[in-house]
A and B are shown apart, each in its own frame.
Chain A
Amino acid sequence: MTTQTASRPASSATGPVIADWRDFYALTKPGVMKLVVFTGLAGMLAAPVQLHPVLAFTAILAIALGHGGAATLNQWYEADLDAKMKRTEDRPLPAGRMDRDTALHFGVGLSAFSVLLMGLATNWLAAATLAVTILFYVCVYTIWLKRRTPQNIVIGGAAGAFPPMIGWAAATGDITLMPILLFALIFLWTPPHFWALSLYVNADYARAGVPMMTVVAGPRSTRRQMLLYALPMIAVAIAPWPLGLAGPIYGVTATLLSAGFLLLTIAVVRNPSAKPARMVPEKRLFLFSIFYLFALFGALVIDAWVPVGQAMGVSG
């Protein structure tokens, strides 16, 4: 997210750092935002009650802004870590294109505004869930866990699991079994997804002193634990079908995709290499895991909206 204008600091020894608007945009982690918005939208569309399109758009905007605020505060707190890792050293704060106070004000403002917007447009249960998500990501994951325990992304992953629940709560004003299952699905999906990436950028985390599972427990133990999370994740992914909360479109898609996820995870477990160049199964699983989540939530929405599912009395 850098252009020629945004790639260098506009400052001197006497002048202030004037960040480009693109740097503010980059702080919101727009790449991750796509998945957050998509799962939030899917949770909303899969709900049995449909919001007016203007309010639905506003709710999704609030989720996106809340994510942007939390991501900004994450980068505000982690600027020192980001400067030590190749993957993150060009972000606006470590690259010196923005000062920390500006990022802090932007992050707090965006977070507070997103919660207010959600509350005013939909309901305060959705707004409170959004507020909990932001606070969980910033305080529990970023400030408390990330630098202290290899379980950081396991517990911190809960923050990424909230959006479908927020979408559902925005539409219905309630939280039932289905949004809890969607929460559990993303929560259990996060460790195998993130550790697949962590395995082949392990040197970066080790250099930055972040106690990722791959750094603390090593590749072999991490691979085994990925499988231990993938198994309950698959059970949760398929569960809405036999429980009558989703129809056959979702059920068949979830079963097939989960079989693929399991096979790729087994390939990772069987890979003995600790060299990033030989971690092809890990890279495959990382990419597939992103597709898996998009496809699963896409199938959930199609299942809720297509007459086949409705005719069988299993939608939403």
Chain B
Amino acid sequence: MTPEEEKTVRKRQRSRAIVTGLILGGLALLFYLITLTKLMVAS
């Protein structure tokens, strides 16, 4: 890989990692809310 390609790859890896982190955080929050809602509805 040329230095420019290496730079592009690193940039994409970084942005993918950030997006994946945000999605996982969002899903953790969503599952927490689903659990609370299910408990509320059940009671």
Contacts and interface: CB of A to CB of B under 8 A. Distances in A.
SS class, residues of chain A in contact with chain B: loop
Given A18-B13, A20-B15, A20-B16, A54 B34 contact: yes
Contacts, number: 44
Given A18-B12, A54-B34, A12 B19 contact: no
A194 B12 CA distance: 36
Contacts of B36: 54
A75 to B, nearest CB: 19
Interface residues of A, number: 17
Interface string B4-21: 010011011101100100
Contacts of B5: 10-12, 15
Nearest to A8: B8
Given A15-B5, A21-B19, A10 B12 contact: yes
Given A11-B5, A12-B1, A20-B16, A55 B11 contact: no
SS class, residues of chain B in contact with chain A: helix
A5 B8 contact: yes
Interface residues of B, number: 18
Contacts of B24: none
Nearest to B23: A21
Interface string A48-62: 000010110010010
Contacts of A55: 34, 37
A24 to B, nearest CB: 8
A54 B37 contact: yes
Contacts of B41: 52
Q: Kindly list the 6 A-B residue pairs having the minimum CB-CB distance in the complex, ordered from nearest.
A: A21-B19, A54-B37, A10-B8, A15-B1, A18-B12, A18-B9
Interface of A: 5, 10-12, 14-15, 18-21, 52, 54-55, 58, 61, 120-121
19 contacts: A5-B8, A5-B11, A5-B15, A12-B2, A12-B5, A15-B1, A18-B12, A18-B13, A19-B16, A20-B12, A20-B16, A21-B16, A52-B37, A52-B40, A54-B37, A58-B34, A61-B30, A120-B34, A121-B34
Given A21-B12, A21-B19, 20 more contacts: A5-B8, A5-B12, A5-B15, A11-B5, A12-B2, A15-B1, A15-B5, A18-B8, A18-B9, A18-B13, A19-B12, A19-B16, A20-B16, A52-B37, A52-B41, A54-B34, A54-B36, A55-B37, A58-B30, A121-B34
